Amino acid sequence: MAQIKRAIAFASLLSLGFPLVSAVAFEGAVGFGSIATGGTTSYVVTTLADSGTGTFRDAVSESGRNITFSVSGYIVLESPVSLSSDLTINGQTAPSPGIGVMAREISASGKSNIIIRNFRMRQGNEETDDTKSAFNMGDATNVILDHCSVAFGVYDSIDAVGAVNVTVSNSIIALPIGQQFGAHLETGPSTWYANLWVSAHNRQPLSKGNTQYINNIIYNYQAAYTVADTGGDFSHDIINNYFITGPSTTSASDDYYQIDDNQSVYASGNFLDSNKDGVLNGAAANTVGSAEVLSSPWYSTSLSMASLTAAEAYSYVIANAGASPRDEVDTYVVSTVESLGTEGAIITNQDSTGLSNDGYGTL
Ligand SMILES: *[C@@H]1O[C@H](CO)[C@@H](O)[C@H](O)[C@H]1NC(C)=O
Ligand SMILES: *[C@@H]1O[C@H](CO)[C@@H](O)[C@H](O)[C@H]1NC(C)=O
Ligand SMILES: *[C@@H]1O[C@H](CO)[C@@H](O)[C@H](O)[C@H]1NC(C)=O
């Protein structure tokens, strides 16, 4: 059923003229990270063990690799994993129910040219270092995450301070447990497309850089799109996103947070549903702090990328976001969103989800 829904959603995207242009990373890739080309040398991950021949850690230890999986399940990391440059991680090649890591950080810090698809990063309270994130992109260049599921992040879900040319698309970024932050990007440019952001305190994302933020769904936030009143002058295209309040939302108007008059923003087609009544029935929300208002997008591809209205993006993201197939964690996360106001919580331990495997869910 989920697959049929996804197929329908994809077919309707094609009919809406979804731009499949100039994508190098893979067909359908969008945004600044889509120039990534990844690796070409085949490496098959054959075991869920932490280290040694055939492991994920060994696979990513040399640059140039195009990584596939003959096993499914969680890889329980015993220490952080540093990726090499020029890598492709093809999580979609794992047998059902898919592949993921838990317990420690994956880092692309200082590396370049990385494609990660259909991969689950679930740090959780088995992490022992509260300065680590689920995915660390510090100073990395040309990175695209697509159909990934990032949950239970400790420092940030995605920490990308210093990252250049980044895309995060079609992904679920949910339930951070430490600082309870989604993503922090400085430098940029970055593209955030058709992601589902669920139950975080703030930073969904915090973006101190030129940004495209298009067709995202943000649920049960305390603060959502943030710039943190920086002295930097940045441009932001914020188009056709749906902000939806939930039980943890204390101030619906923090959909845009700390956006000072040094920022230039093109905001169009965004909606805010703030009544927590179980129905998607928001109102237009295109006033973005005290930013200078742009009358057209700062970046040329933003309008063509925004082929879905905010309401269409809701249906598309609910059916499509995250690693495929949907596992226990993502099914739970999506079900809280579908309550449209009545379910969901900002948590400090993945165990609070009540899911199996100490709250990490079973893969
Ligand atoms: C990488 O592997 C994937 C999955 O097997 C394959 O579809 C793709 O063509 C490969 N890419 C390159 C550049 O070899
Ligand atoms: C970032 O992408 C642009 C093209 O959009 C490219 O010209 C530039 O070299 C890239 N930056 C880096 C550091 O690779
Ligand atoms: C804008 O940037 C200037 C220069 O860095 C800084 O002095 C000012 O405080 C910033 N404005 C706001 C509202 O933060």
Question: What count of other Cβ atoms lies within 10 Å of the Cβ of residue 237?
Answer: 25
Residue 352 pLDDT exceeds 50: yes
What residues does each domain of the chain span? Answer: 2-24+105-351
Provide mean pLDDT across the span 348-356: 98
Question: Which fold would CATH assign to domain 2-24+105-351?
Answer: Pectate Lyase C-like (2.160.20)
Closest atom of ligand 3 to 290 CA is 13
Amino acid 230: pLDDT: 87
pLDDT tens per residue, range 266-306: 999 999 999 999 999 999 999 999 999 999 999 999 999 99
Q: Is the CB of 231 under 6 A from ligand 3?
A: yes
Question: What count of other Cβ atoms lies within 10 Å of the Cβ of residue 74?
Answer: 20
Residue 10 pLDDT exceeds 70: no
Q: Is the CB of 232 under 6 A from ligand 3?
A: no
Amino acid 23: pLDDT: 52
d(CA 202, CA 181): 5
Q: Which among 174, 154, 136, 194 has a CA at the least distance from the CA of 13?
A: 194
Encoded amino acid at 280, one letter: L
Q: Answer whether 327's CB lies under 8 Å from 361's CB.
A: yes
Strand intervals (E) in 147-194: 149-151, 158-169, 172-174, 183-193
Active site residues: 203
- Write out the two tokens for 50: 């932490």
State the pairing for strand pair 149-151/256-257.
unpaired
Amino acid 5: pLDDT: 42
Q: Is the CB of 68 under 6 A from ligand 1?
A: yes
Q: Which protein residue's CA is at the shortest distance from atom 7 of ligand 1?
A: 90
d(CA 107, CA 159): 9
Helical pair 328-338 and 310-320, crossing angle rounded to 10 deg: 150
Q: Is the CB of 88 under 6 A from ligand 1?
A: yes
Q: Which protein residue's CA is at the shortest distance from atom 2 of ligand 3?
A: 231
Q: Is the CB of 118 under 6 A from ligand 1?
A: no
Question: pLDDT higher for 301 or 7?
Answer: 301
Amino acid 24: pLDDT: 81
Closest atom of ligand 2 to 112 CA is 14
d(CA 224, CA 311): 18
In terms of DSSP H, where are the helices of the chain?
Answer: 2-15, 56-59, 302-305, 310-320, 328-338
CA of 91 to the centre of ligand 2 (A): 26
Residue 21 pLDDT exceeds 90: no
Provide mean pLDDT across the span 324-334: 97
- Write out the two tokens for 185: 């990007």
Amino acid 101: pLDDT: 98
Residues with CB under 6 A from ligand 2: 35, 141-142, 164-165
Amino acid 71: pLDDT: 98
Task: With cut-offs at 50, 70 and 90, classify the pLDDT of residue 193.
Answer: very high
Q: What is the dihedral of CA 106, 27, 46, 64, to 10 degrees?
A: -70
Between the alpha carbon of residue 207 and those of residues 184, 204, 224, the distances in Å are: 6, 9, 11
Ligand with smallest separation from the Cα of 290: 3
Helical pair 2-15 and 310-320, crossing angle rounded to 10 deg: 140
Amino acid 264: pLDDT: 98
pTM of the model as a whole: 0.93
CA of 49 to the centre of ligand 1 (A): 24
Residue 322 pLDDT exceeds 50: yes
Burial class (CB in 10 A: 0-12, 13-18, 19+), 130: exposed
Helix, strand, coil in percent for the chain, rounding step 5: 20, 30, 50
pLDDT tens per residue, range 132-180: 999 999 999 999 999 999 999 999 999 999 999 999 999 999 999 999 9
Q: Which protein residue's CA is at the shortest distance from atom 7 of ligand 3?
A: 231
Q: Which among 235, 171, 177 has a CA at the least distance from the CA of 197?
A: 171
Percent of the chain with pLDDT over 90: 93
pLDDT tens per residue, range 31-90: 999 999 999 999 999 999 999 999 999 999 999 999 999 999 999 999 999 999 999 999
